[in-house]
Structure 1
Amino acid sequence: MSRGKRWLFVYIPGFLILLCLFLYEENNHIGITTYTVSSSELPQGLDGYRIVHLSDLQSKMYPNDQYPVVSKVKRLKPDIIVMTGDMVDAGHYDEEATMVLMRGVTEIAPVYFAAGNHEYASRTFPELEKKLTGLGIHVLRNERVRIKAGDGNISLIGVDDPIFNRQEDGDVDKMTAHLREAIGGEVTEDYSILLSHRPELFHVYSDHSIDLSFAGHAHGGQFRLPLIGGVYSPGQGMWPELSEGLHERDGSTLVINRGLGNSVFPQRLFNRPEIVLVELASPAF
């Protein structure tokens, strides 16, 4: 076989096959990221408390009825599962993909859910909320619940995405209104955990003395470049500062999930789908 034919029939097809396999893996191989968050504010007896964080499924259906997601979550043995919105996608809405995942994870641990911008944009959230609640999922709409944990309680707060708020001006004002509604006038000494879709509003969460916040929305920057990070995230634009990982500000911690699915752009690069596990711990003295 001549050199030209080898390129035409062997090298180029081989390269294209490998490229397709690589891109498929980038979109579908789910990674697990584990963080340990320590705080002196935690109740006694809470060391090792495990929180699994899911976000931004975007109506994606993984093989065998979401088995790759459900099986990985089950192996992590969480005490609770938290979700930070966009589990449906307004552009390619598939409620069944979301419900299959929800039915699977509710058999593992209690599930707490806060809504994102796609829940709002789909215009079907009131019906979806009823179905989620019917499965036993705690849908937190600008409200707080207290969870017995260790020898005390955790205050778990869930807020709607700012797009739900048509009364205030600007996302900061909208989120501030949501947090004030959720927290109310009650003051507790509980360790506080917030579920909110938007990572770029971290300064609002820390200004409200939230101990630990979970967010999604940024999709890890969609493409990630070595030594640089995410390329683009909604709400932050190019080269976003808050696209994934763990961040600290004035004693407050933010964990950002890269998400399980895609929305407007169908491909990830060096940014595989993610399940996050946070283990709580008292600081070592």
Structure 2
Amino acid sequence: MNFKRYILLLVIIGVLFAIYNYYQISKFHINKVKLNSNKLINPLRITQITDFHSNENINLKKLFSDIKGFNPDIIVITGDLIDYKTRDLTMAFKILEQAKKITDRVYFVSGNHETNHVLEDEFYNGLAQYEVTVLDDISTEVRLNENEISILGASFFAEKDDFEGIYKDISEKGYNILLSHSPNRPIMYINEKLDLILSGHTHGGQVRLPIIGGIIAPGQGFFPKYDKGLFKFGNTTLYIDSGLGNSVYPIRMFNRVQISNIEILPR
């Protein structure tokens, strides 16, 4: 009799965990981030999408309805839009299409899952078709609402020489944003002229514990220091978004899938 009760209890726990986990991996959260800068004349709004990993559980219609409500000046996609297992690019291209309907200023840097993917050529052809600006180891200048903005991008395997090339023409006066899928290398090769680094890759540890934070992150091992949220390096702010998808296993705990709406206000 006791054995049957234990089995029933385990079944109930399993069902409750499955329901909880489905909520964590499908019902996206929008993280609102507010920053300040004395380099801006008018507010700058950025939506960051990262680590989608072809997550079929995401309601894209609701996602872009919510993004449209924020009315971002810029949308940045910081890598791993697809997963190494992805064999159908439909959802990835849907994201590109919907993002371009909201703003012409959509920027992309590659993640480890795009790099050497079997559909890599088709994927990058799609980026070109939707006129998404790819910033792998290059930069671009944007004048927006009287603000001078430099957007720089680092490819996933960028080395020291690549970062030196990226930083070569960095603006002295403008607001400087670096897009990098992983936070690990920008931390190693940080430039004091950078104002903001936007990254993903860590999934926030994917499974988090209260107070302790993320359990594991690629390139940082167990209990990573830079797992999710805001970090300061002198005048530079690093922001790590935990992403819309999952890697290896579709499991999340205390860490719902998310995008970020970032508003930078004149100081």
From 73, 94, 98, the equivalent of 1:100 is 94
Q: In structure 2, do the counterparts of structure 1 residues 80 and 72 end up closer, same or farther at CA, with 3 Å as the change threshold?
A: same
Point out the more displaced range, 11-20 or 215-224: 11-20
Residues 172-221 of structure 1 show CA distances to partners (whole Å, capped at 9, x for unaligned) of xx1x3222233334654211011101112343453352110100000100
From 158, 162, 167, the equivalent of 1:178 is 162
Which residue is 2:246 aligned to?
262
Name structure 2 gaps, 5 residues minimum: none
**Structure 1 position 196 matched with structure 2 position 180:** yes
What SS is found at the alignment partner of 1:198? coil
Which residue is 1:17 aligned to?
15
Looking at structure 1, the residues matched to 57 and 69 of structure 2 have their Cα atoms a distance apart, in angstroms, of 17
Which residue is 2:46 aligned to?
51
Q: CA contact under 8 A between 1:59 and 1:92: conserved in structure 2?
A: yes
Looking at structure 2, the residues matched to 5 and 264 of structure 1 have their Cα atoms a distance apart, in angstroms, of 34
Which residue is 1:69 aligned to?
63
Higher alpha-carbon Rg: 1
**Structure 1 position 89 matched with structure 2 position 73:** no
Q: In structure 2, do the counterparts of structure 1 residues 104 and 251 end up closer, same or farther at CA, with 3 Å as the change threshold?
A: same
What is the TM-score of this pair, normalised by structure 2? 0.90
From 254, 261, 265, the equivalent of 1:277 is 261
Point out the more displaced range, 261-270 or 246-255: 261-270
Q: CA contact under 8 A between 1:205 and 1:213: conserved in structure 2?
A: no
Name structure 1 gaps, 5 residues minimum: 166-173
Residues 2-46 of structure 1 show CA distances to partners (whole Å, capped at 9, x for unaligned) of x8799489766544432221111111111111111111122x2x2
What's the offset of the Cα at 1:94?
Answer: 3.2
Which residue is 1:34 aligned to?
32
What's the offset of the Cα at 1:106?
Answer: 1.4
Question: Which one-letter code corresponds to 1:60 in the other structure?
Answer: N
Looking at structure 1, the residues matched to 145 and 266 of structure 2 have their Cα atoms a distance apart, in angstroms, of 12
What is the RMSD of the two structures over their aligned residues, measured on CA atoms? Answer: 2.3
> Among the aligned pairs, what percent are the same residue?
31
What SS is found at the alignment partner of 2:185? helix
Looking at structure 2, the residues matched to 5 and 237 of structure 1 have their Cα atoms a distance apart, in angstroms, of 39
What's the offset of the Cα at 1:241?
Answer: 0.7
Looking at structure 2, the residues matched to 82 and 63 of structure 1 have their Cα atoms a distance apart, in angstroms, of 18
Looking at structure 2, the residues matched to 107 and 218 of structure 1 have their Cα atoms a distance apart, in angstroms, of 29
Q: CA contact under 8 A between 2:150 and 2:170: conserved in structure 1?
A: no
Looking at structure 1, the residues matched to 264 and 58 of structure 2 have their Cα atoms a distance apart, in angstroms, of 32
**Structure 1 position 238 matched with structure 2 position 222:** yes
From 99, 108, 113, the equivalent of 1:113 is 108
What SS is found at the alignment partner of 1:121? coil
**Structure 1 position 142 matched with structure 2 position 126:** no
Looking at structure 2, the residues matched to 93 and 219 of structure 1 have their Cα atoms a distance apart, in angstroms, of 22
Residues 236-279 of structure 1 show CA distances to partners (whole Å, capped at 9, x for unaligned) of 10000111101111110011010111121221111110111110
Question: Which one-letter code corresponds to 1:83 in the other structure?
Answer: I
What is the TM-score of this pair, normalised by structure 1? 0.85
